[in-house]
């Protein structure tokens, strides 16, 4: 039986907590720079080899949270998946010989539980949906059709700077041949929410003018804030410059800057946060770009004016915004 120990390691630059399993799996918080292509949050089972690696800076991933397939049909159950957006890292490992799917799977499961992951769904063999699940979860040649000995786990780690989801699929490769044949293969997907680079698209002054002229308002996503704070991120400068240009090009224009949040937290908290964020934008425009105070005012709407559902990460991201409203 494996034993557990908690290791606290500090360095000058960071503090990290690592949950270790004697067999070799570790989970590290917070995320660090990747080492040897293992994901910085969750490492390989000791002695495993990486056979496939792919990383998408921002993409969507269909995470299984229920059994695949429906009775009497080959299609996957639409309710079985939830779509997550963020940085997606895919790593495939060939595990050491003489290991079972249960041994590998249980070590990952224990490590994730100890690190604070919520286990959203676990299954094995036919409980997962048999061949239907296998065909939907993997595109690895030597695993397609290997559904007689398969195990799966979906987990979520809630963090203030963005949640992390894990899709773990462990199966015995019992078709084909080659180095993978009769070996346990681990397919790991790690999805880091809200890792899309902000401010990659800046709405220019002309587009702002058109939006305000047509609808009396325009929503901006190029102004970012530190989590739970009204401190404007440095990457917001291009958008602030375009707001200043809009006001300089239209000397009679007066604006209300309105902050909007998602619904995480109480209404009172979000009303206050959104107002402070709007006020920070107003202060930046008057202090850094010499916009007269008389042309600006600020307000906060909290989560009372959503433009998308707050039930998903993607929807909450759309609701966190700053709007310019013509007085």
- Three-state DSSP class for 41? coil
Report the pLDDT value the prediction gives residue 202, as an integer from 0 to 100: 67
E strand map for 48-176:
49-64, 81-94, 118-124, 150-157, 164-172
The reply to whether 188 and 240 lie within a common domain is no
CB 173 within 8 A of CB 183: yes
- One DSSP character per residue, 145-213 reads T--SSEEEEEEEE--TT--EEEEEEEEE--SS-GGGTTSEEEEEEEEEET-SPTTSS---HHHHHHHHH
Report the pLDDT value the prediction gives residue 28, as an integer from 0 to 100: 57
**Domains: count for the chain:** 2
Q: How far apart are CA 55 and CA 41, in angstroms?
A: 14
pLDDT string in tens for the chain (327-residue length): 343 322 222 222 223 334 434 456 766 554 333 334 889 888 899 999 999 999 988 888 999 998 876 543 334 455 678 888 888 999 999 999 999 999 999 999 999 998 999 999 999 998 998 888 888 888 887 788 888 899 999 999 987 667 899 999 999 998 877 888 889 999 999 999 864 444 445 689 999 999 999 999 999 988 988 877 899 988 899 999 999 999 999 999 999 999 999 998 899 999 999 999 999 999 999 999 999 999 999 999 999 999 988 888 778 888 999 999 999
The reply to whether 187 and 276 lie within a common domain is no
**Does 1 reside within a domain?**
no
**Does 315 reside within a domain?**
yes
The reply to whether 135 and 186 lie within a common domain is yes
- Domain residues for the domain of 265 are 205-326
| Best CA proximity match to 229, nearest among 303, 280, 284, 158 | 280
Question: Which pTM does this prediction carry?
Answer: 0.56
Report the pLDDT value the prediction gives residue 21, as an integer from 0 to 100: 41
The reply to whether 227 and 112 lie within a common domain is no
The reply to whether 187 and 63 lie within a common domain is yes
Point out the domain boundary residue: 165, 193, 221.
193
Q: Phi/psi at 294 (nearest 5 deg)?
A: -65, -20
Looking at residue 302, the DSSP 8-state letter turns out to be: T
| Best CA proximity match to 91, nearest among 168, 25, 157, 172 | 168
The reply to whether 127 and 215 lie within a common domain is no
Point out the domain boundary residue: 193, 226, 246.
193
Report the pLDDT value the prediction gives residue 69, as an integer from 0 to 100: 65
Point out the domain boundary residue: 125, 158, 193.
193
The reply to whether 218 and 262 lie within a common domain is yes
Which residues on neighbouring strands pair with residue 94, listed in sequence order?
A: 49, 185
Looking at residue 115, the DSSP 8-state letter turns out to be: T
The reply to whether 228 and 175 lie within a common domain is no
Q: How far apart are CA 137 and CA 139, in angstroms?
A: 7
Q: How far apart are CA 29 and CA 42, in angstroms?
A: 9
**Length of the chain, in residues:** 327
Number of neighbouring beta carbons within 10 Å of residue 13: 7
Report the pLDDT value the prediction gives residue 201, as an integer from 0 to 100: 54
Could you give the angle at which helices 237-249 and 205-215 cross, rounded to 10 degrees? 60
């Amino acid at each position: 039986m494996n034993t557990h120990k908690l290791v606290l390691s500090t360095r000058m630059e960071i503090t990290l907590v690592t949950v270790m399993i004697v067999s070799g799996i570790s989970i590290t918080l917070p995320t660090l720079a990747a080492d040897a292509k293992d994901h910085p949050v969750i490492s390989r089972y000791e002695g495993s080899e990486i056979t496939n690696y792919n990383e998408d800076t921002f993409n969507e991933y269909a995470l299984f949270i229920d059994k695949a397939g429906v009775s009497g049909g080959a299609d996957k159950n639409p309710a079985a998946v939830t779509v997550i957006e963020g940085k997606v890292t895919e790593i495939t490992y060939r595990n050491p010989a003489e290991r079972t799917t249960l041994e590998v799977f249980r070590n990952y499961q224990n490590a994730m539980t100890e690190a604070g992951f919520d286990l959203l769904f676990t299954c094995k063999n036919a409980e997962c949906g048999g061949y239907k699940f296998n065909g939907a979860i993997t595109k690895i040649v030597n695993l397609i059709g290997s559904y007689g000995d398969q195990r799966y786990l979906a987990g979520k780690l809630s963090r203030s700077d963005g949640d992390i989801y894990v899709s773990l699929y462990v199966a015995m490769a019992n078709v084909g041949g080659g180095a993978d044949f009769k070996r346990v293969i681990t397919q790991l997907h790690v999805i880091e929410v809200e890792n899309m680079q902000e401010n990659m698209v800046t709405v220019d002054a002309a587009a702002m003018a058109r939006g305000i002229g047509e609808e009396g308002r325009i929503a901006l996503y190029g102004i970012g804030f530190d989590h739970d704070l009204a401190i404007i991120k440095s990457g917001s400068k291009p958008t602030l410059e375009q707001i200043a240009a809009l006001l300089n090009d239209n000397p009679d224009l007066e604006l209300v800057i309105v902050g909007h949040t998602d619904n995480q937290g109480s209404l009172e908290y979000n009303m206050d946060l959104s107002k402070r964020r709007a006020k920070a934008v107003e202060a930046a425009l008057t202090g850094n770009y010499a916009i007269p105070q008389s042309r600006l005012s600020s307000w906060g709407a909290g989560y009372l004016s959503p433009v998308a559902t707050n039930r998903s990460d993607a929807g909450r991201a759309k609701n966190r915004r700053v709007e310019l409203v013509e007085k």
